[in-house]
Amino acid sequence: MNKTIFRIIVLSSIILVQNSYGQEVTTYKILSYSDSLPISYAHISIDKKLLTYSDDNGNFKIDTSLKFEELKISHLSYLSKTIAFNTLKNTENIFLEEKTSYLKEVV
């Protein structure tokens, strides 16, 4: 019985170490430049590959131990923003500017 419990504890420890080894997960927040409100469901891409979306509060998590060139954030209502990896480490909040479009007069 004691050997079985010991084996379970050792296996659990190994699994936990393997899952957490080398990961540096950081949370970022995407906000509107004009009113500092969170931007939900923005697309987050790393080196032109879709990684994740921001949640309802504008938050997203990324493993910064991964080596990549640039992170791109895009949203239908905002201008896309590209951030170099080395400047991302010094950032918590990322601000996006709203897109403005003008409609022609309807005749």
pLDDT given for residue 89 in this prediction = 77
| Of 55, 51, 97, 98, the residue nearest 72 (C-alpha) | 51
User: Does 17 have pLDDT greater than 80?
Assistant: no
For the whole model, what pTM was predicted? 0.71
pLDDT given for residue 35 in this prediction = 94
Token pair 């296996």: residue: 11
* Cβ atoms of residues 39 and 75 within 8 Å: yes
* Cβ atoms of residues 71 and 44 within 8 Å: yes
- Compute the distance between CA of residue 33 and CA of residue 67 in angstroms, rounded to an integer: 28
For 24-82, what is each residue's pLDDT tens digit? 888 999 999 999 999 999 999 998 888 899 999 999 998 878 788 899 999 999 999 99
- Compute the distance between CA of residue 29 and CA of residue 60 in angstroms, rounded to an integer: 7
pLDDT given for residue 101 in this prediction = 82
